[in-house]
Amino acid sequence: MASSDETKRRRRLSVKTMLIVIIVILSVVTSAWALLTVSKATELPPSDFVTIPTTPLSRNGTSVLFVSVGTISENGVAVGMKGYLETGSGQPIAGATIYARYYLDGAYRTQDASTDQNGYFQIIFPMNWTGWLPVTLTYFGDSQHQGQAAVYSVPGEGL
């Protein structure tokens, strides 16, 4: 009789242990799924970011400046920035690569854009923001134009 009671107790322990193991496994799987879902939802497309060159700004040629730099908005929400790259005499610089560097999610991010025949460029950010986003615009220059870097604060959502 004692062995029968002990066998029943062991079975109960075994069933309780199995239930605990199943609950722990389900909890782990559910937590992993939730983390994966959140990380996928907040993931930034890696193709939007580039490495900023380490070469110094060119000091040869004509000086340049960024003109009419402002926010690109859609339905009252800031989504990027735009502007023109021109010489001091107002001539547009076509085909230039502009780099925009800003701080996002604990790291500095860099995106690039090319100017069109009018010197116009636009950069669409992979997020929207509130407050003011400081962005450093950099043009490294070429054999005809000097490089230029300038910091702009771009107003975000609702500003």
Q: What is the pLDDT of residues 98-150, one digit of tens each?
A: 999 988 767 888 999 999 999 999 998 876 667 788 999 999 999 999 999 99
- pTM score, two decimals? 0.67
Q: State the average pLDDT for the chain.
A: 82
pLDDT of residue 153: 86
With 0-12 / 13-18 / 19 or more C-beta atoms within 10 angstroms meaning exposed / middle / buried, residue 133 is buried
pLDDT of residue 142: 92
CB 126 within 8 A of CB 98: no
Identify the DSSP state of 46: G
pLDDT of residue 133: 83
CB 81 within 8 A of CB 154: yes
pLDDT of residue 77: 75
pLDDT band of 7, cuts 50, 70, 90: low
